[in-house]
Amino acid sequence: MAGILLAGFGGQGILFAGKQLIVAGMKNGKEVSWLPSYGPEMRGGTCNCSVNIDDEPIGSPLVTTPDILLAMNKPSYDKFVSKVAAGGTVVYDSSLVTPDEIRADIKSCGVPATKLANENGFPKLANCIMLGKLMKETGLFDGDYFRESLRAASPKAKPELGEMNAKAFAIGYEYED
């Protein structure tokens, strides 16, 4: 169904965003895998994770030619956009990424996630805004279904976090250029 690569700076919630995709996938009866980059590069540098969601058992957990790329900074966009499979989709944070070139054979979608997150008072939830845009553009999961899944991801003691996640997701989902 889809190999997804999520990439950005450490601290942007890349791994969390990836995990939410496989949580939704598993609940939906799909085969899923999640593989983070690890080691020194995790500490303050770039960060990425490979997500597979499929009807068949997952082969390689490493996504080398993503169907979907979620890029939350310029270095990640530059590094991975050429790897996206033809006909695939790139969703990027347009407040941090100004593409040097746009590939004609893939769908390119920018959303100023960081700017929107700051404006709405939840500067750490740019990742959820990105997920909203990703879901809108790819239809990977139904928007309402994924939003509820994201809402349920917060610890039981802190339901307000889930509310904010869902709100951020909706902002991304509804964003129009």
Q: How many residues bind other proteins (CB under 8 A)?
A: 19
Cα separation values, 20 from 17, 50, 62, 146, Å: 5, 12, 17, 9
Cα separation values, 137 from 89, 110, 111, 117, 162, Å: 8, 10, 11, 19, 23
Span from 30-38, 96-104, 111-119, 125-133 in contact with other proteins (CB under 8 A): 30-38
Q: Give residues 112-151 in contact with other proteins (rule: CB under 8 A).
A: none
Which residues make Cβ contacts (< 8 Å) with residue 160, sequence separation at least 6? 154
For residues 68 and 134, the answer to whether their CB atoms sit within 8 Å is yes
What is the distance between the terminal CA atoms of the chain, rounded to a whole angstrom? 28
Q: What's the min distance (Å) between Cβ of 151 and other proteins?
A: 17
Q: Is 32 in the site for other proteins (CB under 8 A)?
A: yes
Q: Quick one: which of 2, 14, 17, 33 contacts other proteins (CB under 8 A)?
A: 33
* x/- letters, 55..84, toward other proteins (CB under 8 A): --xxxxxx-x--------------------
Q: Quick one: which of 9, 10, 36, 94 contacts other proteins (CB under 8 A)?
A: 36
